Amino acid sequence: MATDRKESDELKQMVDIDRVIHEPARFLIMAYLYVVESADFLFLMNQTGLTRGNLSSHLSKLETAGYVDIQKEFVKKMPRTILSLTEAGRTAFNDYRQQMKQVLDDLPE
């Protein structure tokens, strides 16, 4: 009975994984923004190796989820897009790390 409950909890943990972050490209974007304070679109594009369209599309999803803050500004008449993690995004990323660690640690050998 206790074993069944444990298995059920483990399965629930897997189901509860944040799917917005779980997608590899979005995970990479979140990871980069997690380790820096902010970065512009070009820097993130260079670091992640994603194309403009791909990065733009993933950022849009992360922004919709409230994880990424996107600010547009003009520097000497040139547009610049500054990206940073929101508090919710930072918390979600931390939670995701913990959950994944737990799930992977609990896997049988």
Which positions lie near another protein, rule CB under 8 A? 22, 24, 27-28, 31-32, 34-47, 52, 56, 59-60, 63-64, 70-72, 79-82, 100, 104
Residue 32 beta carbon to another protein: minimum distance, rounded to whole angstroms: 6
Per the document, the length of the chain is 109
Query: Which residues does residue 71 pair with via DSSP β-bridges, in sequence order?
Result: 82
If the CB atoms of residues 8 and 56 are measured against another protein, the closer one turns out to be 56
CB 80 within 8 A of CB 70: no
Compare residues 6 and 52 and give the one whose CB is closer to another protein: 52
Q: Which two tokens stand for residue 26?
A: 């979005």
Q: How far is the CB of 40 from another protein (least distance, A)?
A: 4
- The answer to whether residues 2 and 61 touch, using CB atoms and an 8 Å cutoff, is no
Q: Which of 10, 97 has the CB closer to another protein?
A: 97
Structural contact between residues 23 and 50, judged by C-beta atoms closer than 8 angstroms: no
